[in-house]
A = this chain, B = another copy of it.
């Protein structure tokens, strides 16, 4: 009944007691759901301030059957593109009064499923998922419970779901065709791990498909996977260049990997793009500032996730259930990391470097 000095969590009842009104009136005064006399309102406001009352969201959503929260599952926060993404997503939620519940899957399908269950248990009113390769079981769980959900960064929507994004496969062909148009004929492909990452997988497929379209023989195609770190990209680049010094360009599955390649190439004394051209994917902040600035595919993560949030809120309000897929624009940004190839330059230069190291 009385508040001890420490450890007290004042309830609506404490407020009612202090204000000399009923809990119902306090609730009404606080939520403005019904008319309350200004006298009561003032008494309540004062009591709230005095006690430092903060309503219990759990109890509240129990009654309201809505929590005011939206969940999102991304693979990781380590890649800048997802930080950007969350920035855009939050931006949209903020203006609608929703609170973001963020969860990371660490590129693990089982973790992802657990995180979704976790979000459900916290009563989220909608969920945004990264990509479209989730556990079917978890998707039908969402369906069964009537919780709206969305696949982002993809144009696929398994199990008749909704999606906001673009065709990773097609988009990944853009840099390949660009390189080919510049005259490159020996192109290496370096993407992030494709395990549990359907975006990376699609990009790889898209790049390989584009190469074949350009009359590449499948056997000529050089591709590798690496971790999503600069470190890993650097060593993968080295291994690739050692095995295939004749390549004149490398197309990367994302910008972080491309940064690693550019930095390692220059570290080796190669000139980019003079000795080797490099392309990325995402267009994160640093890419336009890098030396040389990076030719890449702009996917506009922040904007895409902003749109995703809007779509999700729409699904929650049961409006515009129409379009299954919302397209997010994608654009090839040509900068300084690509140019016409010099024939066999890398091969020669690499030999120099090797001998100087010996």
Contacts and interface: CB of A to CB of B under 8 A. Distances in A.
Interface of A: 5-9, 52, 54-59, 61-62, 67, 76-78, 80, 83-84, 86-87, 90, 99-102, 104, 117-118, 120-123, 141, 143-146, 229-231, 234, 259-260, 263, 266-267, 285-286, 289-291
A178 B252 CA distance: 38
A101 B104 contact: no
A90 B104 contact: yes
Contact of A290 (B80, B101, B263, B285): B263
Contact of A84 (B54, B78, B143, B289): B78
B57 A121 contact: yes
Given A52-B144, A76-B87, A263-B289, 7 more contacts: A54-B120, A56-B123, A58-B59, A58-B62, A77-B77, A78-B83, A99-B118
Contact of A77 (B8, B87, B143, B285): B87
Contact of A291 (B55, B229, B267, B285): B267
A121 B291 contact: no
Closest 9 CB pairs of A and B: A58-B58, A7-B146, A77-B83, A57-B121, A57-B122, A230-B289, A54-B121, A263-B289, A54-B120
Contacts of A145: 7-9, 52
Contact of A58 (B61, B83, B291): B61
Contacts of A101: 101
User: Assembly of this chain: how many copies?
Assistant: 2
Contacts of A9: 145
A229 B61 CA distance: 39
Contact of A52 (B8, B141, B291): B141
Contacts of A58: 57-59, 61-62, 67, 122-123
B266 A289 contact: no
A71 to B, nearest CB: 12
B55 A121 contact: yes
B77 A86 contact: yes
A290 B77 CA distance: 21
Nearest to A4: B146
Contacts of A5: 144
Nearest to A141: B52
